[in-house]
């Protein structure tokens, strides 16, 4: 086993997952889901976003959610912000970790947050600098890093430029996102190698969607290069409302199961995620579950039958 066998699983279901659901959950229901995830062992989680409630009604009340999050001293909770206004709201709500999003193409950026890419770079750089100055963990997502639903294949040099900008501004981490789940492992190796050469693996993370069933293969490609942090979403919940073709995120249970089978430490046992998936299903009314869900459910049921502690 390599030197570092700890992998951080950053759960994004409560944000990336819920934002596309037709059923809008109450703050209490969102909190119920977060509590279940924390009980199962999640220690890094994107709790919500400070965006226009007209654009994304699912994320209204994120300030109230943040105020009630369990064991904040033990969990890295992040809030996503699209602009300065969102950043001020996150600060007022006491956020300690803030995520900004730059899309690597002009059209995606406009569709998502109605700013040009140049404006967005400026706004995100300002927010990252404020984070650095104020002791907040600033993280920058580079969305559609492989392919854009509007502009096609993404230029690698553009992704490298955006990552460079954000680190220069003070970002603690850059997260490379395959927003529509179009990447393959060769592309992941190529882009992540270039990024690692410049910035090192420790300050990079990956966010994959499973649209074409290649999310785990993409994780493996990045893992081999030394990446030790990945986003995933419970039951594969999610997508992006502004990005046609974006379907579910990589499911947390699939990621956790693969990593634990390979001997990596994640603080999770995938079987313990079964009741969390069931809760997410009952809250959203959506049919959820990654590739391993049926198998995990059988393991969970036989554990229950043997009278093991729930």
Segment near Zn ion (CB under 5 A), from 13-21, 39-47, 161-169, 211-219?
13-21
Distance (Å, whole) CA 306 – CA 162? 52
Residue 124: active-site member: no
Length of the chain: 310
Distance (Å, whole) CA 24 – CA 185? 35
Binds ligand COA by CB under 6 A, chosen from 18, 56, 66, 182: 56
Residue 16 interacting with Zn ion (CB under 5 A): yes
b (16+ CB within 10 A) / e for 124-143: bbebbebbeeeebbbbbbbb
Residue 40 interacting with ligand COA (CB under 6 A): no
Residue 113 interacting with ligand COA (CB under 6 A): yes
Contact set for ligand COA, span 70-99 (CB under 6 A): 80, 82-83, 85-86, 89
Please identify, using beta-carbon distances, which residue of 50 and 230 lies nearer to Zn ion: 230
Least distance from C-beta 47 to ligand COA, angstroms? 13
Q: How many CB atoms lie within 10 A of CB 94?
A: 13
Please identify, using beta-carbon distances, which residue of 19 and 292 lies nearer to ligand COA: 19
Active-site residue, from 131, 148, 206, 240:
240
The residues, any chain, with a CB within 8 Å of residue 47's CB and separated by 6 or more, are 14, 15, 34, 62, 65, 66, 69, 77, 78, 79
Size of interface with Zn ion, in residues (CB under 5 A): 1
Q: What angle do CA 97, 46, 160 make, to 5 degrees?
A: 70
Contact residues for Zn ion, defined by CB under 5 A: 16
Residue ranges in contact with ligand COA by CB under 6 A: 19, 49-52, 55-56, 80, 82-83, 85-86, 89, 101, 112-114, 240, 242
Give the residue numbers annotated as catalytic, written as ranges.
Answer: 240
């Amino acid at each position: 086993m390599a030197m570092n066998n700890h992998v951080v699983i950053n759960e994004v279901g409560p944000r990336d997952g819920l934002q596309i659901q037709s059923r809008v959950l109450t703050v209490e229901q969102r909190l119920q889901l977060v509590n279940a995830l924390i009980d199962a062992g999640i220690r890094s989680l994107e709790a919500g976003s400070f965006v226009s409630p007209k654009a994304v009604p699912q994320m209204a009340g994120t300030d109230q959610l943040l105020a009630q999050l369990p064991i904040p001293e033990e969990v890295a909770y992040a809030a996503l912000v699209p602009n300065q206004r969102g950043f001020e709201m996150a600060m007022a709500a006491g956020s300690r970790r803030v995520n900004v999003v730059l899309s690597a193409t002009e059209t995606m950026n406009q569709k998502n947050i109605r700013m040009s890419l140049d404006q967005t770079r400026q706004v995100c750089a300002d927010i990252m600098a404020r984070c650095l100055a104020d002791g907040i963990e600033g993280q920058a997502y580079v969305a559609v890093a492989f392919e854009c639903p509007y502009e096609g294949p993404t230029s690698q040099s553009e992704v490298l430029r955006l990552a460079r900008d954000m680190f220069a501004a003070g970002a603690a981490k850059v997260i490379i996102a395959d927003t529509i789940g179009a990447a393959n492992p060769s592309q992941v190796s190529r882009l992540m190698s270039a990024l690692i050469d410049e910035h090192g693996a420790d300050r990079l993370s990956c966010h994959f969607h499973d649209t074409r069933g290649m999310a785990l293969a993409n994780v493996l490609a990045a893992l081999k290069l030394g990446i030790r942090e990945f986003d995933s979403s419970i039951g594969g919940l999610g997508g992006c409302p502004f990005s046609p073709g974006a379907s579910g995120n990589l499911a947390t249970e699939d990621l956790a199961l693969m990593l634990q089978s390979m001997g990596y430490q994640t603080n999770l046992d995938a079987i313990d995620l079964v009741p969390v998936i069931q809760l997410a299903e009952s809250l959203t009314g959506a049919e959820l579950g990654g590739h391993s869900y049926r198998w995990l459910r059988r393991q969970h049921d036989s554990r229950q039958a043997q009278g093991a502690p729930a």
